[in-house]
């Protein structure tokens, strides 16, 4: 970065590489522990996420205890059985074959929470959109995810778990909202494409079909903004 805050071409490319090569890691975690200083850097990046009204509503619970991980895995398993029943038979069979968590395999877990009362009863930016504290917490999750990828640490977001079970297992007070439970660990490889895409569950939507100009639905799929090349996956 230069004196005016501008990044070099190489630095800018590294940021985009990190974004395009981020993956939701669900398996293949290595048993190698993450050094405390690396966890510290990742959490510091999460703490520097943008937050509406500078409310900084997040807290982080770092989970290393195997018995707590086992309890979380049991809670996931219960919720996952319920989730499978919601799909039609064909989709349910495909769902059953997906690996959707690495709670016990990942060396470290991090639960990101939101304190909705931290900034008081009236908060700049929440006067008309009260959920901005939750959205700000999700920005912290994304910062964490990208910082972890820059450290060659894989992250998986486990959302198939009932919030009340997560709250009970981790001792989260009732006024605090658990937003994300994340599995962190080194991996043998970062895949070329998202696991769910590779498994045929879904595919990435085309950006031009999602962008409108001035009013909803006003598309211009030939616009020059769509010609930018996408970064390639680079292995650590």
Which residues are 109's β-sheet partners? Answer: 63, 183
Burial 7-17 (b: 16+ CB within 10 A, else e): eeeeeeeeeeb
Question: Which stretches of the chain drop beneath a pLDDT of 50?
Answer: 236
* pLDDT at site 23: 93
For the beta carbon of residue 52, count every other beta carbon within 10 angstroms.
Answer: 18
Question: 190 is written with which tokens?
Answer: 């970062």
pTM, rounded to two decimals = 0.93
CA neighbor of 29 nearest in space, from 99, 84, 95: 99
Q: Rounded CA gap, 126 and 116, in Å?
A: 11
Q: Are strands 176-186 and 108-115 parallel, antiparallel or unpaired?
A: antiparallel
Which residues, listed in sequence order, are joined to residue 184 by a DSSP beta bridge? 108, 155
Give the Cα separation of 15 and 7 in Å (integer): 10
Both tokens assigned to 199: 């498994």
- In total, the chain counts a number of residues equal to 236
Q: pLDDT value at position 231?
A: 58
Evaluate whether 184 touches 34 at the Cβ level (below 8 Å): yes
Q: What totals of helices (H) and strands (E) does the chain contain, helices first? A: 7, 4
User: Dihedral, CA atoms, 11, 107, 137, 143, nearest 10 degrees?
Assistant: 0
Domains and CATH numbers, the chain: 13-192 (3.40.109.10), 197-227 (no CATH)
Q: Which pLDDT value is given to residue 4?
A: 81
Confidence at residue 116, expressed as pLDDT on a 0 to 100 scale:
97
- pLDDT score recorded for residue 3: 79
Res 105: pLDDT: 96
């Amino acid at each position: 970065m230069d004196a005016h805050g501008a990044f070099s071409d190489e630095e800018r490319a590294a940021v985009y590489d990190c974004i395009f090569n981020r993956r939701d890691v669900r398996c293949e975690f290595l048993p190698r522990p993450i050094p405390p200083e690396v966890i510290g850097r990742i959490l510091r990046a999460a703490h520097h996420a943008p937050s509406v009204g500078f409310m900084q509503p997040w807290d982080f619970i770092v989970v290393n205890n195997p018995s707590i991980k086992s309890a979380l895995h049991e809670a996931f398993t219960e919720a996952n059985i319920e989730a499978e029943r919601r799909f039609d038979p064909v989709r349910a069979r495909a769902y059953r074959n997906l690996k959707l968590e690495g709670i016990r395999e990942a060396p470290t877990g991090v639960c990101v929470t939101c304190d909705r009362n931290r900034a008081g009863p009236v908060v700049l930016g929440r006067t008309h959109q009260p959920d901005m504290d939750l959205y700000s917490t999700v920005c912290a999750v994304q910062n964490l995810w990208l910082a972890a990828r820059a450290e060659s640490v894989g992250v998986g977001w486990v959302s198939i778990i009932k919030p009340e079970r997560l709250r009970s297992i981790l001792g989260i007070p009732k006024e605090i909202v658990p937003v994300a439970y994340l599995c962190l660990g080194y991996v043998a490889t970062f895949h070329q494409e998202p696991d769910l895409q590779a498994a045929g569950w879904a595919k990435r939507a085309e950006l031009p079909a999602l962008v409108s100009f001035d009013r909803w639905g006003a598309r211009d799929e030939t616009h020059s903004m769509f010609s930018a090349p996408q970064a390639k996956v680079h292995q650590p």
